[in-house]
Chains A and B, each alone.
Chain A
């Protein structure tokens, strides 16, 4: 079946540090890949996505590139801010004859300290 393996947290960084959260996946065919973010007390929000190999999703300074050869979709940001503190989930959707389900990673809690 489909699965997502995500870097375990928690991750604590200083403001303006470089961020990488690793994500690899297992799926047949060509899934779509997503990063969701959950700020304290809120629901999950879509951060970025990529639907085919070599696509780069980007939003709010975050980027992730769909790497088919390494089955990876690592999340990066060049300079993090305190407001980026949240839980980040990597996820995939595999369309399978109308059966579409999101498969999530375990989530990575990120804390940015001033």
Chain B
């Protein structure tokens, strides 16, 4: 049973528009969430994170929203750029439970069309 779900395997967005990537989780112990971006044949690179004590974190064009009651988070990219085309992984961990590792979602492939 997947604890972290990304139900959209792919998403296409026009350049300049907003990209919204969604992630749902089932484990209520998760208290730290991250988004990673991955290009083909490379390792994931960290994008942005959010702690469960917050409901929003913003870094430049990237904003992550957390809805704890719905066990849902989303990544907004605005404006989207062709270089944003990659696979985006949502990850969650329970940092308060020392030793809990990250659980990754299956990823969403974002294509930003020029």
Do A and B share a complex? no
